[in-house]
Structure 1
Amino acid sequence: MTTFSVQAKKNELVIATTFSPEATAYIISRWQTQPQSVVIRTLNRTSSSLEQLLDSAGDENIDLVLTSSPMLLQHLQQHQRLADWPDAPPQSQRLVPESIRSTAVAVAISSFGLLINQRNLNDRHLALPASWDDLMQARYQGTLLMSSPSRSDTNHLMVESLLQQQGWQQGWQTILSLAGNLITISSRSFGVADKIKSGLGSVGPVIDNYANLLLDDPDLTFRYFPHAVASPTYVAQLKSSQYPQEARRFVLFLLSPEGQKALSDTNTGKYSIIPSQEDSPRARQQHLLLNAPPLNYRLILQRQRLVQKLFDTAISFRLPQLKDAWRALHNAEARLKRPLPEIRSLLTALPVSEAQSTDPRYLAQLENKARAEQLMMEWQLFFQAHQRQAITRLENLK
């Protein structure tokens, strides 16, 4: 049950969550079959919306936070809003970033990949992509959907997994190249999945639990990225919870065999943190995720604002012009039957170096609103100048 009111009733838990109502409904339905269970209402909002709500004085009726966003939990912990959780099981806590390990509990894992509308691609006579690099190809122009790191922490983690695997420069070259194939930037990560299901796009990078809920549609398929990383689902209890014992009981349910089964059911689309039996159809992928190298969460939290603001300045705020430039490049390369690496390098040039992306002094500038706006203006001028150079060179090609 979902509501936008947080007026708690007696013995009723309120869970603030970044997940869609569909993603939490099955878990809650299983909880409510348990002895002594209480009614749960969910408040489904974006991470930034929940930050604002929980920073305000009106959060006293929220008991738990359920999210895949370590950034949200880091913010709440820094503001002393979360209760300590000292006795979480080791197999859970090894998945939790060290900075939030005292308050957050990992209860499930997910990962990232491509949700594909096979029918749309078959109609275009296109092969199904399998990696980030595939998405850069000119053939996928006008087929892609994606969200922004500033709008979706799930998408932020997905982008960071690419940047950490390919490196800062090459990772951004991949992102800027595939941006030319985007249809639009979706406001929510589960909006990408919904639009692909409805045929408004053909391919989109998404988290698996949103995709798995849709795979009863024969037109849809999901492919994990090569070297997929685990993205935990966390639960944390607020210090201000009016029903701390009931909240604790719900967390213990999620960690129990029954709760783990509910979390890993196809109605939820996640993987349990307890290794499945080898004969389970999902055991191989779960094993890969549980043993994958973790993301560098310290780096993610350190440069969170940089990645968000750089993505929006480079892509979200100038998507029509970006698509025009890449379309002109793709057409020129097709006409000349050869790549144009110098023009590509202009369209993928970056105003922030790898050294700056990890420099605390550079990153600290983004904490100051006026300085952050000035930097974004400088980045905007940088991208505009390089795009003008690229267009001029394209126009002068024989």
Structure 2
Amino acid sequence: MMKSLLTCTLACLLLFSGVAKAVTLNVMTSYPQPVVMVMQQAFEEAHPDIELNILWRRPHDALSVLLQEESENVDVIWMPSVRTFLSLKAHGKLAQFKQNRTGLPVLLGDTAISDPQGYFIATEIAGYGLFFEPEKLKQAGLAVPNQWQDLLAAEWQDNIALPIPSEVSFAHMLIDQLLQAEGWQTGWNQWQQIAANSHLMGRGGMFTTEAVLAGQAKVAFTMDFFAASSIANGANGKFIYPKQTAFNPAHVGILSAATQPEAANTFVDFIVSEQGQSLLLHPDLRKLPVRPSVYSQAPKMQNPFAGYIRHQYDYQTGLQRREYNAVVFDAAITLHHDKLKQAWQQWHQLQQNADADQQAALAEIKTVLQQWPVEEPAMDNDVLQDCAQRHDDVKKQQNCEAFKSELAQSFERQYDKALNMLAQLTTKS
């Protein structure tokens, strides 16, 4: 009798143990371990019957794997990569959510950050802005900029750290958000002038925020979480969002082929819940929640949903022309940065004490500097398509490089002409 009772007890314990971890949920993510650990620990404590099996993949690799007919056994994909989710949805790889979205805005400003049809939902956002040290800005006699256009002024010469989009991945959307907000030519003309005031930051060098801390610049273009990391590590810095900017959302989605759809929905519910969103305030994460009510727990954190920031951005357009924009940036700015800086610096110097005739001549020189020999491309433009695939196809890379070379020569002629006109005006003065 005792032996029978003991056997029954052991069987019940084993059965209970099996129920406690009855479900294994396969989650594919590109998030670093600190982010995953915080979320995983809290989720498994709240749902001890579900165990997370984390599959780490970079966004490009994740998309390649999940688009295969016989892909890995993945239930949930969770990462900051708009392109990945748009592609998965287009290929029918995502299931529609059953979540209650009360308290979760689909829009940020005028832009949808979650899929309106419910195939993927935003879990956090990261915004573009400016990092600076207030005291050093004050000592230099520089006012805090509250919009990108403030950085066109002559007093910002050599005081800005600007990332190169072909070398710094986060810079693609930074460049394009201004083009979308201001229009193609106006946006590029503003980037020309900002770049003339800037130190260009490329691959292998210091971060833009580090340039400010090292005294090489007074203000840096960056993303909020880079700035938060610098401040958390002791930097006496501050970060602001300009009135018009862009926010890059991270998303979570459930695969249409998920073997654990119920557990997957439970995980998504948790990530966007009040508890899950509050975890984003953790010192190791410092990310922006997509549930506005959570900002009451962090009164010092800027709330993008409060209505004081204008956000209007077409992610699909930005993704399609990101490589094209990078090529144009290099042709117009990176390859001729010295000439561009020299021309604008001389222009500003001459403008300070110019008489009426000189003002007219300077207006003509400005027109030469701001000529824009390349029109905004249609999404089916051959060169745009070649540049978009230049990293995967040798022939398309050659076509894209030929376009860049021709465009770079055009800008060089343009800057040389402006410099000659400035030299003549200087001689007359």
> What range is the shorter-chain TM-score in?
0.7 to 0.9
How far apart, in 1, do the equivalents of 2:212 and 2:32 lie? 16
Contact 2:82 2:250 in 1 (8 A): no
Q: Which residue is equivalent to 2:199?
A: 183
How far apart, in 1, do the equivalents of 2:43 and 2:272 lie? 12
> What's the CA shift string for 1:104-142, capped at 9, x where partnerless?
211233432211134554564543333211222333233
- RMSD of aligned C-alpha atoms? 4.0
1:334 aligns with one of 349, 355, 370: 349
Contact 1:190 1:210 in 2 (8 A): no
Give the Å deviation of 1:244.
6.2
Correspondence 1:386 to 2:408: no
Q: Which residue is equivalent to 1:323?
A: 338
How far apart, in 1, do the equivalents of 2:38 and 2:210 lie? 19
Moved more, 244-253 or 177-186: 244-253
- The structure having more radius of gyration, on CA atoms, is 2
Correspondence 1:85 to 2:103: no
Q: Which residue is equivalent to 1:202?
A: 218
Correspondence 1:127 to 2:143: yes
**Unaligned ranges ≥5, structure 2:** 1-22, 387-395
Give the Å deviation of 1:260.
1.2
Q: Which residue is equivalent to 2:161?
A: 145
How far apart, in 2, do the equivalents of 1:179 and 1:212 lie? 25
* Percent of paired sites with the same residue: 21
How far apart, in 1, do the equivalents of 2:322 and 2:158 lie? 29
2:305 aligns with one of 262, 287, 293: 287
Contact 2:176 2:318 in 1 (8 A): yes
Change (3 A) 1:251 1:279: closer
How far apart, in 2, do the equivalents of 1:144 and 1:33 lie? 46
Give the Å deviation of 1:167.
1.6
Number of residue-to-residue matches in the alignment: 379
The code of the aligned residue for 2:417 comes to Q
Q: Which residue is equivalent to 2:366?
A: 344
Moved more, 70-79 or 131-140: 70-79
Contact 1:147 1:188 in 2 (8 A): no
How far apart, in 1, do the equivalents of 2:142 and 2:237 lie? 15
> What's the CA shift string for 1:357-396, capped at 9, x where partnerless?
3x345x2432231543333232222212112212222332
TM-score by length of 1: 0.76
Give the Å deviation of 1:222.
0.9
Q: Which residue is equivalent to 2:251?
A: 234
Contact 1:154 1:189 in 2 (8 A): no
Change (3 A) 1:301 1:189: farther
Correspondence 1:262 to 2:294: no
How far apart, in 2, do the equivalents of 1:271 and 1:190 lie? 25
Moved more, 181-190 or 122-131: 181-190
Give the Å deviation of 1:35.
3.4
Give the Å deviation of 1:32.
5.4
2:240 aligns with one of 211, 220, 223: 223
**Unaligned ranges ≥5, structure 1:** 1-9
How far apart, in 1, do the equivalents of 2:163 and 2:55 lie? 23
1:16 aligns with one of 9, 25, 29: 29
TM-score by length of 2: 0.71
Correspondence 1:308 to 2:326: yes
Change (3 A) 1:278 1:34: closer
Correspondence 1:366 to 2:367: no
Change (3 A) 1:107 1:290: farther
How far apart, in 1, do the equivalents of 2:294 and 2:77 lie? 30
Give the Å deviation of 1:212.
2.8
Give the Å deviation of 1:153.
5.8
Change (3 A) 1:146 1:329: closer
How far apart, in 2, do the equivalents of 1:240 and 1:186 lie? 41
> What's the CA shift string for 1:274-302, capped at 9, x where partnerless?
33279662687343359855423343345
